[in-house]
Amino acid sequence: MARPAWLLALCLTVLALVRVARADDPGESAAKRHYERGQKLFNLQKFHEALEEFQQAYDAKPIPDFLFNIGQCHRNLGDYDAAIFSFKNFLKLDPEAPNREQVEHLIEELEQNQAEGQSRRLGLLQRPSSGPESSRPIYKKWWFWTGLAVVSAGAGAVGVYAVTRRDGAPATDFGNIVFGK
C-alpha cells in the first residue's frame, strides 16, 4: 500500500508544478500588462500610444480580442484601411465573437467613409453648400438689391445734373432746333 500513496503524492506534486508553470506564462503576463496600459491610454484618447501597447499585447499572446482593440485605435486615428484589416482578421480568428454584428457594422461604416473620402479627393462629390443662402436665386439675395439701388441712385444723380444745367443746350455744327414755337 505504500506504493500507491507514494505514486499519488508524486502525481499531485507534478500537477501542482504544471499549474504553477501555466500561471507564470511570461507571454500571458506581458500581454495582460500591455493590454492594461493600452486600455488606460485609449481611455485618455492617446490612440497612437494605445495602438503600440495593444500591438505588443498581441505579439506577446495572439488573442483575437486584441485585434478588435487595434482596429478601434486605427479607426479613431482615421486609418480606415488598417482598421478594416484588423476588424476582418478579428472576425476571421473569432467567427463566433459576441460582438460580431457590431464589428460588421463598423466595417460597413468604415468602407463607406473610405469610399466617400476617395470620391471627395477625386472631386466626384458636390461640395456641401454653405447654407440656405447659396440655394436662393440671385434676385432674392441682399447684395443684388443693394447694388441695384446704388446704380439707380448714381444714374438719377447724373440725370438731375444734366437737366438742371444753366448753360442751355450744347452747341453743335448742325445748329439748334427749337421745338414748340
- Does some domain include residue 40? yes
Does 58 fall in a domain? yes
> Which H or E run contains 11?
helix 2-23
The CATH number of the domain holding residue 64 is 1.25.40.10
User: Is the pLDDT assigned to residue 73 strictly greater than 80?
Assistant: yes
pLDDT beyond 60 at 65? yes
The model carries a pTM of 0.55
More confident residue, 173 or 157: 157
**Exposure letters 111-138 (e unless 16+ CB within 10 A, then b):** eeeeeeeeeeeeeeeeeeeeeeeeeeee
Residue 69 lies in a domain: yes
Asked if residue 13 is part of any domain, the answer here is no
Share of the chain above pLDDT 70, in %: 68
Cα 118 to Cα 16, 22, 26, 124, distances in angstroms: 59, 49, 44, 9
66, 58 contact by CB (below 8 A): yes
In a domain, 86, yes or no: yes
The Cα 11–Cα 109 span in angstroms is 55
Specify the number of domains making up the chain: 1
Q: Where are the alpha helices (DSSP H) in the chain?
A: 2-23, 26-43, 47-60, 64-77, 80-93, 100-122, 142-163
For the record, the C-alpha cell of 142 comes out as 441682399
- Rounded to whole angstroms, the Cα distance separating 72 from 35 reads 14
- pLDDT of 127 above 90: no
Q: Which of 47-56, 62-71, 77-86, 162-171 has the lowest mean pLDDT?
A: 162-171
For residue 154, tell me if it sits in a domain: no
**In-domain check, residue 132:** no
74-121 confidence digits (pLDDT tens): 999 999 999 999 999 999 999 999 999 999 999 999 999 888 877 776
**Confidence check: pLDDT of 21 > 50:** no
On whether residue 10 sits in a domain, the answer given is no
Domain that holds residue 116: 25-122
Q: Nearest-CA neighbor of 168 among 176, 160, 180?
A: 176
